Chain A
């Protein structure tokens, strides 16, 4: 068959395949021309910045650039033996230079991430480093006792690696040791895994809740006459006309201790006046607000799929002897799976990176991973860790996508 198709030729004797490609080339070129402005925009303002930021999660040149001598010599150090005089000498040279270039603060911050409490060691030692006399090992030890500790040197060795999996390890509650091994963080410093799990849990609950709430709405809209369903569609889309911030703040007014919901609970006797439900500034508040905000993303794909399902399928099922429920469950619902899949994945992906709502109504136990990424970006200024956490989040999402593709099939998804 292959040989056969090779011999196929167009009227002028060129192979048919080549001819076809020639005739399609102009069309392809045109299509590319039409999308290229957006493509260029996306590459330079979206894809590249993301890649550059994520790159920081595994690539950190700060210490090796600012402390070149020490970095060079630390490369050969095994991480366990007693630091030598040359190492101390290199350190002093770098400290003096760093002080002169006013970069010692950055160095101190970097090492402090690996071993907290070393910031002042660096800044104060650098001030006096210029006056130190050899042997430096002795004089540095005399200046600050911590210089004799092997942990300080190990922290510097870890910091000096340009390519490091230290940040990724840190975002998964592991730490990178000086000898290259990885071990679990101290128990009280393990917060990230718990946070990832909580993020996934909140996203999953929000997805399931919006499916349970959204499916009946979509069904109603799809079965009503066009005019009524259009009105309902406007109601579903109405929240999009107000800012996300306003909607979230509205939930604060609704859910707070003296808010509308609690007042109603008290009036109807579900709660005592002095023992009201705490519905906000915790996980409950995040779940309620996020479900509300993400609901339209579930309703719309399901609705668009339902609209295309001919009523004759359910009629056929009934004429074949199926009860209303059987006809719905075995004939109607399976045909809406592409919509459910699209809606669920849309809501889940949006939820997993949700930021504003948990930040506003989350309180302590409603914080999600993006709130921590934000914390490291703006407060602790540990961009490398933020990038690493973002990288881990991205990998988790891609992994879930892969599972979804395996189970449901990505091409089985219908967005409208």
Chain B
């Protein structure tokens, strides 16, 4: 509790159940710092959107406390929380023009007309949409609507903005562009953002920290690099980025290094992260780009090339270790002289530090 003062939003032992039979959110503890860009990432049904709705005030926590700026907000109705929100379908009011949409939060705050017009103008300039002030939302493209929704959530200067999969409906190119813009706005305004998405690349590129949700619990809360480089459990390793996995039993533990014996009698040395005692089951995780097509490292296996997929900058290589395990290896295009052929027998190796021994 020593970090109490610099936490802007605090979830404390929060639980949520819709039907009284099962918990959608199980014992959530989360501290968000002021000015932070935090992403809640997880598959659908993992409880991330429920957490966002509880923070916005549209759902009440079944148990536990949510603090906003040091004050418990469980009993404060949504309209008094002063939290901006961007919805997945933008939720721009279809009967109002862009200007009226932006003016709405200012009107309900009883700000006078002159100030209102000024703020609307500034907010529209911020998202480069000034010339669209008199259009109706239906006359705008998806990306433009997204910008307006963003401007509307920011126009009344909230300290916290929630975004519920705001880029889900956009095509890939536009999505990447908007990611960049949202990130820039966040930097410029210093506003705290809680962002919900199921798209891991979005989470990794935009966030200061990412909370990976699964099964109503935070699996790991870390920086994007931390998530990718040091996954704490098998779910995170599998969910974030591409991953090759091997299952086996712990044979020996030596400080930070464990020796794992797989079902196929293969002995692998790995970094101890989250595995049990000697004799317990474990999952080994290796990133595709950390596997080398030579025998430089201690961990060596012989394998068979099954499939080669040309990806431009790299070649994805599907490799069969044995009947049950297949690895994906990424070979940079500069190494094309390797000239692999399907059916070729090759040798793979990896650094034992790049192989993480995780929970079963």
Contact = CB atoms under 8 A, between A and B. Distances in A.
Interface residues of A, number: 20
B87 A321 contact: no
Contacts of B79: 318-324, 327
Nearest to A330: B104
A331 B93 contact: yes
A312 B58 CA distance: 10
A316 B83 CA distance: 11
Contacts of A310: 89, 91
B279 interface: no
B85 interface: yes
A334 B58 CA distance: 22
Interface residues of B, number: 27
B109 A321 contact: yes
B89 A320 contact: no
Given A326-B108, A330-B104, A319 B95 contact: no
Nearest to A309: B94
A366 B80 CA distance: 52
Interface in A319-346: 319-324, 326-327, 330-331, 334-335, 337
Contact of B78 (A318, A330, A331): A318
Nearest to B110: A321
A403 to B, nearest CB: 21
Contacts of A18: none
A327 B57 CA distance: 15
A317 interface: yes
A323 B94 CA distance: 19
Interface in B83-104: 83-85, 87-89, 91, 93-95, 104
A200 B200 CA distance: 63
Contact of A320 (B58, B94, B104, B162): B104
A315 interface: yes
Interface centre among A310, A317, A335, by most chain B C-beta atoms within 10 angstroms, is A317
A399 interface: no
Contacts of B162: 319
B185 to A, nearest CB: 18
B152 interface: yes
A316 B109 contact: no
A32 interface: no
A322 B56 contact: no
B68 to A, nearest CB: 13
Contacts of B89: 310, 312
B91 A321 contact: no
Contacts of A402: none
A318 to B, nearest CB: 4
B156 A316 contact: no
B105 interface: yes
Q: When A and B form their complex, which 3 residue pairs have the shortest distance between CB atoms, in order from nearest?
A: A320-B105, A316-B91, A319-B85
Given A316-B91, A318-B77, A321-B108, 19 more contacts: A312-B91, A315-B85, A317-B93, A318-B57, A318-B79, A319-B56, A319-B83, A319-B153, A320-B79, A320-B108, A320-B152, A320-B156, A321-B109, A322-B79, A323-B108, A324-B79, A326-B108, A334-B93, A335-B95
